Amino acid sequence: MVEKQYFAVIGDIIGSRNVDDRAGLQRQLNAGLADVNRQYANQIASKYLLTIGDEFQGLLRTSEDLDRILASLRVAVHPVDLRFGIGVGGLVTPLREHAIGMDGPCFQRARMAIERAKERSTQIEVESGEAHPGFEIYSLLYSAMRRNWTKRQRQVIDLAMSGMDGVDIARLLEVSPPAVSQHLRAAGVTYVRKATATWLLTLVLIVNKDTFGGEVTSA
């Protein structure tokens, strides 16, 4: 019998010790986690929640909207930033309603990934049980780009990656649609979208390889 594969997400707040209102920041994060749990309920195996300190985790059945989920959580705590560790694998314990009190390769690998993100000062890392250059390339390039964005560029691109269109972003931020487009172009949103789409496809192919026992190639 083929083992069910999950996507465990562990995240934390970058530089949280330097935030004056940490209680307020945790409230923002909690609200963001609740929104994700509600909006993506059909993809969530175990709901996202705060665990220890400023760390949180969740468990997904699919990586279909992983990029939107991560972007939505980043939006929730702006201008503070987040880092993420993604672990792909199975579970050895029963599923729970909330993503706590479970164990298995997916959570173990997510822990390895978030620790690597801390060591390398990257914003996102993936551990799937096998080395894959695509994950490392995406992590290094995306993190380098993100560090060079202004706070406004980061906010606008996160809103766009969460699924919001330019007109709605402009209305939310009380700026003109051309200003939003300018921020997106300056941040290189076209390249970010293409790189992220390839990153997500790689996650899908790895799971399919594990499921069907062979190499899977895109058409």
For helices 66-77 and 189-212, the axis angle rounded to 10 degrees is 130
Pick out the chain residues at pLDDT < 50. Answer: 210-219
With the C-alpha atoms ordered 198, 64, 13, 92, is the resulting torsion angle positive or negative? negative
Give the global pTM. 0.91
Q: Domain-by-domain residue ranges, the chain?
A: 6-132
pLDDT number for residue 211: 45
pLDDT number for residue 53: 81
121-149: pLDDT as tens digits: 999 999 998 888 999 999 999 999 999 99
pLDDT number for residue 52: 85
pLDDT number for residue 2: 59
Tokens encoding 8: 């465990």
51-68: pLDDT as tens digits: 988 899 999 999 999 999
CA distances from 9 to 1, 49, 67 (A): 25, 11, 12
Residue 147's H or E segment, with its range, is: helix 133-148
pLDDT number for residue 185: 97
Q: In the beta sheet, which residues pair with residue 102?
A: none
Is residue 77 within 8 A of residue 28, CB to CB? The reply is yes
For 102, counting Cβ atoms within 10 Å of its Cβ (0-12 exposed, 13-18 middle, 19+ buried), the class is buried
Q: Average pLDDT of the chain?
A: 91
Give the right CATH number for 6-132 from 3.90.1580.10, 3.90.1750.10, 3.40.640.10, 3.30.70.270: 3.30.70.270
